[in-house]
Structure 1
Amino acid sequence: MYVPCTPLSVPSYNSSQPYSVVGETWVSNPANTKSMPLRQTLTDFAYQLAQHAYKLAECKEPRDFPKELPRYESD
């Protein structure tokens, strides 16, 4: 999960640099990632992690996060 974010502590002359909050999850057994419910849970977790980190980083850019991400569709 990638969310652009420039922390308040970054001077405006450096704000041209790309800053972001990144949330990442994975499973150590790749065979389990084929499960749609597990993929959705991991994606939701990464999303919540990114939201929380964004809040803690006090990013300059205002951002409204949706309540939840779209759900994966079954294969």
Structure 2
Amino acid sequence: MAFGAIILIRVLFIACMVFIIGYVFGGFSKRPALTVITKVAAILMIVLFFAANAVMMRGRFADRGHWHHHGCDSVQVDGRYLR
């Protein structure tokens, strides 16, 4: 699920970039419909940025068992772990 969501977010992000680059460097600013779509694409890019971070964080913290380092509740003295 998370991998599919990441791919979908990336594809939508690229589509938004096409509209924004077309507005800045191309002739999208001359047509009213493309101007509206570009404004929606700019807002969608902000939402996609937060969505991508949420999906990454969810995937990272889904398995709490492997989140901490081995022996993090121990103190290492002279190469040995003390408990």
TM-score range with shorter-chain normalisation?
0.3 to 0.5
TM-score, reference length from structure 2: 0.32
Instruction: Indicate the structure whose relative CO is greater, using CA pairs within 8 Å and at least 6 residues apart.
Output: 1
Q: Mark the structure with the bigger radius of gyration.
A: 2
Bigger helix fraction: 2
